[in-house]
Amino acid sequence: GSCDLLCSQNYPLYIRSVPTENELKFHYTVHTSLDVVDEKISAMGKALVDQRELYLGLLYPTEDYKVYGYVTNSKVKFVMVVDSSNTALRDNEIRSMFRKLHNSYTDIMCNPFYNPGDRIHSRAFDTMVNSMMMQVC
Amino acid sequence: MVFIFMFSITEVCGAKRVGYFGPAQFYIALKLIAAAQSGFPVRIESIKNELPLPRFMALKNDTEVRYGTPAEFHGVKFQVPHATLEKNSYKRTDEGDKQEPKSPPMSPICSPPSSPSTYQRIPLNYGYGKARGGLEQQHGAPYEVRHSTHQQDGPSSGSYGAKSALTCSTPNRSVSVEREQQDSSTQYSDDPWRITEEQRDYYINQFRSLQPDLNAFISGSIAKNFFTKSKLPILELSHIWELSDVDCDGALTLPEFCAAFHLVVARKNGYQLPETLPETLLPEYLQAACLKPIRDCALFDSYSEPLPSSQQTRDFSRTEKSSAEEVPDNSALLQDGKKDDKQALKVSTTLKTIPKEFQHLTVKAAAQEPNALRARPRSRSYSSTSIEDAMKKGEEPPTPPPRPQKSHSRASSLDLNKIFQQSTQAVRSGWLPPPPPALPPRPSVSQTEQPSEVELHPQMNRPPSQAEENSSAKKEVVLAQPPSKPARRKLRTEAQGLETPELSPTINVTSSLPAVKPHLPVQKQSSKQKRAIQTAIRKNKEANAVLARLNSELQQQLKEVHKERIALETQLEQLRPVTVL
C-alpha cells in the first residue's frame, strides 16, 4: 500500500509506500488519480465541506488495488492506495485513517518552522504513518 | 549488608523521605555504604570523610568489573569526594539504565567508546571561551563542580587536554567540596537533558524578554524568530519544536519554552536530538521545577537555602575567570550577580548589534536605562553567563542575520520576502507590549512618542520593513497609549542624555504603564518637546524617503511583471490559431 499527501498545487508533500518496491508505480497511480480527485472537488459545489471522499475502483488488469482520496479544507489531498486483496479493510477504517492523517497534518502545521508547501520531514508524522500502514498492509 | 544498615542508610540518604532512589539519594547511599563498611556510623557527616570505595559482592558483570578499575584509578588520582566516583563505578539500577541511552547523545563529545560509557560528561558545557565541540568540557567548570564529574577527566584528558580543565576546576572543586556533596543531589548528575537552575533562570529570563507574563504563551512566530537566531538548520528547529510543543498548539508555555531552549543549546553543543522528548524535559516535569525557584532537594533543605545565591555569585565569578573572550567589563557587571544586569547587558548589546530580531527584546526590557547606559560601551557579547555565550554564538555577529531580505535586491524574491517579513512583523508588532508610537495627527504628546518608534526602527538593518512595521504599529497602538504618555514623557526627559534615547521611551512604556502619572512639570516638557519634535520630523522624513524608495522599486517590479504577462499573452494568442487548425 501507499499513502500520499499532496498539496493544493498537486505536488507531493509526502509519500510513503509499504512495501517499498513498486514505489514508482504507486507514484504514478497517485498522480493519475489526482484527476479524479479534482473532478470530485469541483463537482461538490455546495456543501464543500464534505471532508471525505471515497474513491473506489481504479483497477488495473494486472493487479487490483483501491485508491482512496480525501481532501481537507485547504485543498490538501490525501491519497491512499491499498491492495484489493486486503478486503478486510472497511470504509470506516479508511475514514479513521484519513482522520488520523488529517490530525497529524494539522499538528505539523502548528509547527512555526514548517512552511506550507514544504515537504514533510516530521518524525512524528512518519511514525504515525508507518504504524498505520503496518496495520493495514 | 545487614538490613538494619540498609534501612538506616535509606533513611539518612533521604530516599525514604522522598520515596524513591533518585540520583542524589543513590550517591549518598553508596557513600554511606562505604562509610558503614569502613566502620563509620551511618550519618550524613561521615560521607565527608575520604572513604574507600564500597565493596559490592553481588554483581559480576563485565560492566561492573570494567567500571571498577577505572574508578579506582580515578579514586587514587583525585582526592576528592568519592561519592562522585562511586556513582560512576557502580551504575547498577535505574542510574545504569538511564545512562545507557544517554551515551549515544554524548558520543560526539566523548572520547572513543573504549572508555566506559557511563562516565558522564558535563551535560552542557557552554563554552566559556571560544571552545566548542570537543573542548567544551574544559570550560564547564561550574558544571564540573556542580555535577561532580571528576572522573571524566581521566579518560578524556588525552583527547581533550582536560588537564587544564582539571587545574582550573580543582581549585573550584576544593572550594566547593562540601557543598558539592550536598549539591550532587541538586544537580541531578550529568544528565544532558536535565535543566540546571542556572539554565532555567536564563531560560526564564529569555522567556520574559519575549513575553513578560510567565504564565502566558509565546506564539509560534515569535518563538520561530527567536530560535532562528541560533542558526540551527530549519529542519532541526522544526524537530525541536515538534519535541517540545507537547500539546501541539503552536505556542510555547514556559516549560515548553525551557525544553525547546534546552534542546537548542544541547544541539549547539553537539548533542544529537533525541527521537522523543526526554522525561526531564516534559512540561509537567518542568512545570513543577519552574515554579520552585529553590532547588527542590528535599534532602538538604538546610544546606540548600544559602546555596543558590552564593552559588550564583560563585558561578559568575568563575565565569569571569574562565571566559577569556568576554570583555572584562562584562565580568565586572557579572559580579553583581544580578539578573537585572544580565538583562541590561542584553538590552545594551542589542542596541549595539542591532540585529533586527532583538528589537523586541529591547522593547520588553523593563526599566533598564541606568544599566543600559553603563553597559553600553561593552562589546557585543550578550554574555552574563556562558550559557548566553553559547546562545550568542549564534546571535552575536553584528553582521546581519541569515535572512537575506535586508538588501533591496531586485527581482521577485524581494516581494515574497517583504511580504513574509511584513506578516511576521505585524505579528511581532502585535506582541510588542504597547509600543510607544503615535500618529502624527496627535499634537505634542504624540510627537514625543514618534521619535521613540521611528528612531528605534531606522537603525535596524532593514529600514523599509521597519517603516512598515512602524506605521502598522503606530496605528495599532495609538488608541491604547493615552494614559501612559505623560509618564513616558517624564521618563524620556530623564533619559534624554543617553546616546540612544530611543530605547528609553520604549522601555518606559512597559515600565510606566502600570504607573500613570498625569501631573508633570510643563516647562521642562515644552523645551524637550521641541527637540523631540524636530528629531521626529527628521526621522519621519527618513522613513518617508525609505518608503518612497521601496514604492518605486515595487512599481518597477510591477511594470516588469506586467510586461511579462503581456508577452505571455501574445504568445498564447499566437499559439491559439495553431491549435484550432
Summarised one tens digit per residue, pLDDT across range A10-22 is: 677 777 777 666 7
Full-prediction pTM beyond 0.80? no
Cβ atoms within 10 A of the Cβ of B61, count? Answer: 10
Q: HSE (CB half, 13 Å, CA atoms) of B18?
A: 19
| B237 pLDDT tier (thresholds 50, 70, 90) | confident
CB proximity under 8 Å: A 89-108 to B: 107
**Interatomic CA distance for residues B239 and A113, integer angstroms:** 9
Tell me the nearest-neighbour CA distance from B236 into chain A, angstroms: 9
Q: HSE (CB half, 13 Å, CA atoms) of A110?
A: 23
**How far apart, in Å, are the Cα atoms of B49 and each of B32, B36, B43, B46?**
10, 12, 11, 6
Number of A/B CB contacts below 8 angstroms equals 37
Amino acid B562: pLDDT = 94
8 Å CB contact of A110 and B237: no
Q: Does residue B103 surpass a pLDDT of 50?
A: no
**Interatomic CA distance for residues B435 and B510, integer angstroms:** 8
* Chain A residue with the nearest C-alpha to that of B223: A112
User: Would strands B251-252 and B218-219 be described as parallel, antiparallel, or unpaired?
Assistant: antiparallel
* Chain A residue with the nearest C-alpha to that of B249: A110
A122 inside 8 A of chain B by CB = yes
User: Would strands A12-17 and B251-252 be described as parallel, antiparallel, or unpaired?
Assistant: unpaired
The grid cell for B436 is 510607544
Query: Is residue B57 within 8 Å of residue B332, measured between CB atoms?
Result: no
Residues in chain B within 8 Å Cβ distance of A124: 242
Q: Does residue B301 surpass a pLDDT of 50?
A: no
The grid cell for A104 is 497529524
A126 inside 8 A of chain B by CB = no
Better pLDDT: B255 or B370: B255
Better pLDDT: A95 or B424: A95
**What backbone phi and psi angles, to 5 degrees, belong to A5?**
-130, 120
**Interatomic CA distance for residues B228 and B221, integer angstroms:** 10
Q: Does residue B560 surpass a pLDDT of 60?
A: yes
Q: HSE (CB half, 13 Å, CA atoms) of B260?
A: 33
**Interatomic CA distance for residues B12 and B25, integer angstroms:** 9
Cβ atoms within 10 A of the Cβ of B232, count? Answer: 20
* Chain B residue with the nearest C-alpha to that of A121: B235
8 Å CB contact of A107 and B248: yes
Residues in chain A within 8 Å Cβ distance of B249: 110
- Using CB atoms, pick whichever of B239, B250, B275 lies closest to residue A110: B250
DSSP B255: H
Only one residue has cell 553508596, namely: B30
**Interatomic CA distance for residues B265 and B388, integer angstroms:** 10
Radius of gyration of chain B (CA): 29
* Chain B residue with the nearest C-alpha to that of A125: B242
Query: Which run of H or of E encompasses A78?
Result: strand A77-83
8 Å CB contact of B242 and A112: no
Residues in chain B within 8 Å Cβ distance of A114: 238
DSSP B459: T
Q: HSE (CB half, 13 Å, CA atoms) of B41?
A: 3
Q: Which of B235, B248, B273 to probe the A interface (max A CBs under 10 A)? A: B248
- Using CB atoms, pick whichever of B219, B241, B275 lies closest to residue A111: B241
Q: Taking residues B480-506, what's their average pLDDT? A: 45
A121 inside 8 A of chain B by CB = yes
